[in-house]
Amino acid sequence: MTDSIAILDFGSQYTQLIARRIREVQVYCEIFPWDATAEQVLALQPRGFILSGGPASVYEPDAPFLPGYVLNSGLPVLGICYGMQVLTHALGGRVAASQEREYGHALLQTSLENPLLPAGSQQVWMSHGDRIEAPPPGFQPLASSQNSPIAAMGDLSRNYYGVQFHPEVHHTPQGIEILRRFAWDICQAKPEWTPESIIQQTVARIRQQVGGERVLSAVSGGVDSSVATAMVQRAVGDQLVAVFVDTGLLRLGEAAQVRRALQNNLGVELVVVDAVDQFMTALRGVTEPETKRRIIGELFIRIFERQARHLGKPRYLVQGTIYPDVVESSAPDRAQAQRIKSHHNVGGLPERMEFELVEPLRYLFKDEVRAVGEALGLPAGLVWRQPFPGPGLAVRCLGEVTPERLERLRLADAILTEELSAAGLLRMGRRGEELHGTAQAFAVLLPVRSVGVMGDKRTYQEAIALRAVTTEDFMTADWARLPHDLLARLASRIVNEVQGINRVVYDITSKPPGTIEWE
């Protein structure tokens, strides 16, 4: 079993980020609610614990407290912000409200050589209103900041550490090194969490679960369902059959790309259902976005039901659930089999259809899913594609969805993708403190017409809105500052190459107040 770290969540907005940073140093970790049972947490067989931050104060009534099994385990502990305070409180130290709160950048000065913190000074990110007034017995101050005399502390003999700042955020440049030191040097966890080890362990788990039974996978063309299908195919081979419903609402060339990826690259048995005419008929005259979603979901259900009957109603169903889904739904149980709900990401299967789920990506973050997808042999164009809404282009084609309007939208969207790729902006990265590139970019066809002039002739045609955003968590987003010459080239190409479009606009709304998608 791979060495691991258990993270206890006390309500911090950064808890998932702690887990991602630990995974980045190739150590497996899982997040548990702070009040999870000892049996749940210790089943992971962790090499150490990280206590997250949180909004409470430890001296308040009913504040979250440190479970006894953490200290009884004798394992290393790292408390971050509230985690440091709850560790202090549990061990007999004193926590009090600070007269001068610290939010934002601070300069940390290491005062005592220790295995956790680099020597000297470093920039860190603070976000706290309480501070340690007196450390617990056995602890020594390790570092200070202007408003925190004890910005880090440690009991080096018991491997207990606390930091008042947030090493998991990018505003703490050496934070990843601090977490690496805790995981590798203090917890002695081996850095074995790699795409290859993930595949090896997951394949073994799937084989144990499924045995010789048939497995069904609903492939949407998205990253998660494609990688999940590829993983299960690696495990059970021709026991798997994948169903891909072509709704006619996909991006340019997407249906063919999915076929090539699964059939040619991986040899997956793929049943392709051409349902374009059915979806176009069902959506005729419909303009209200929620009605579109309901029609698409219902029709997908019925088509998938028919295919499942033709295939003998396999007992197992592959679902591309990923770790953020698990954390946000507070469902940490590893072994539970679940009934598919009408809103689930395989397209909304009805409750009366019961499968035992196979969820090979259940404990992976999106960046890990992509790395595993590449290691499984999926093409980069599929693995690194940007997020795409479940109802497809129907909710980016504002107004009535028709084959003609969809074709305009598809072509405009393809031009945007092509130009962003050529400019090196189709993926998102960092340049210093700034996000660079795009996390999501797409075209929207607007249900409005405007007057234009082409070849000295008056036109009265539709408009395309371009949307490109930067974000790390998709909970908030900012509009991407695309170069002006790129925007000019996009407008020129779309107007000249897409029939029926004579105007292009660029959406500069952040989230909030807007959403990333328009519908």
> Which stretch, 114-123, 308-317, 332-341, has highest mean pLDDT?
114-123
What are the distances in angstroms from CA 40 to CA 44, 225, 231, 335, 480?
8, 28, 26, 11, 42
DSSP 21-85: HHHHTT-EEEEEETT--HHHHHTT--S-EEE---SS-TTSTT-----HHHHHTT--EEEETHHHH
Instruction: For residues 147 and 210, state if they share a domain.
Output: no
Residues 71 and 25 occupy one common structural domain: yes
pLDDT in tens, 376-420: 988 887 888 888 887 889 999 999 999 999 999 999 999 999 999
Query: Would 388 be classed as within a structural domain?
Result: no
| Residues 377 and 473 placed together within one structural domain of the fold | no
Active site residues: 81, 166, 168
Q: 255 pLDDT exceeds 60? A: yes
Q: What is the 3-state secondary structure (H, E, C) of 450-471?
A: EEEEECCEEEEEEEEEEEEEEC
Q: Where are the alpha helices (DSSP H) in 385-519?
A: 403-422, 484-497
143, part of any domain: yes
Asked if residue 85 belongs to a domain, the reply is yes
The answer to whether residues 40 and 81 touch, using CB atoms and an 8 Å cutoff, is: no
Write down which residue in 186, 209, 228 finishes a domain: 186
* Same domain? 55 vs 203: no
305-331 tens-digit pLDDT: 788 888 888 888 888 888 877 775 554
Binned at pLDDT 50, 70 and 90, residue 14 comes out as: confident
Q: What is the structure's pLDDT at 353?
A: 52
pLDDT at residue number 483: 96
Domain match, 417 and 345 both: no
Phi, psi of 90, deg, nearest 5: -70, -25
- The answer to whether residue 514 is domain-embedded is no
Share of the chain above pLDDT 90, in %: 59
- The answer to the question of residue 518 being in a domain is no
Instruction: Check whether 346 has a pLDDT greater than 70.
Output: no
Domain end marker among 383, 406, 434: 383
Whether 163 and 237 map to the same domain: the answer is no
How many domains, the chain? 3
Q: Are residues 46 and 129 in the same domain?
A: yes
Q: Are residues 280 and 406 in the same domain?
A: no
Residue 343 has pLDDT above 50, yes or no: no
The enclosing domain of 181 has a CATH number of: 3.40.50.880
Task: Give the pLDDT band (50/70/90) at residue 334.
Answer: very low
pLDDT at position 324: 76
* Position 243 in a domain: yes
Q: Are residues 275 and 403 in the same domain?
A: no
Question: What is the domain range of residue 104?
Answer: 4-186
Of 139, 158, 186, the domain-final residue:
186
The per-residue pLDDT for 351 is 53
User: Does residue 337 surpass a pLDDT of 60?
Assistant: no
pLDDT, mean over the chain:
88
Q: Are residues 153 and 11 in the same domain?
A: yes
Q: Which CATH number covers residue 416?
A: 3.30.300.10
| β-strand partners of 77 | 49, 160
| Phi/psi at 223 (5° precision) | -65, -50
For the segment 38-84, what is each residue's pLDDT rounded down to a tens digit?
999 999 999 999 999 998 898 888 999 999 999 999 999 999 999 99
Q: Rounded to 5 degrees, what angle do the CA atoms 355, 378, 474 make?
A: 75
Q: At what angle do helices 276-283 and 289-310 cross, to 10 degrees?
A: 150
The domain that contains 267 carries what CATH number?
Answer: 3.40.50.620
253/134 same-domain check: no
Q: Is residue 414 part of a domain?
A: yes
Q: Tell me, yes or no, whether 389 lies in a domain.
A: no
Q: Do 221 and 273 fall within a single domain?
A: yes
Mean of pLDDT values over 150-173: 94
pLDDT value of position 333: 44
Question: Following DSSP, what letter does each residue of 362-393 receive, concatenated?
Answer: TT--HHHHHHHHHHTT--HHHHTPPP--TTGG
**Can you give the pLDDT at residue 260?**
82
pLDDT tier for residue 338 given thresholds of 50, 70 and 90: very low
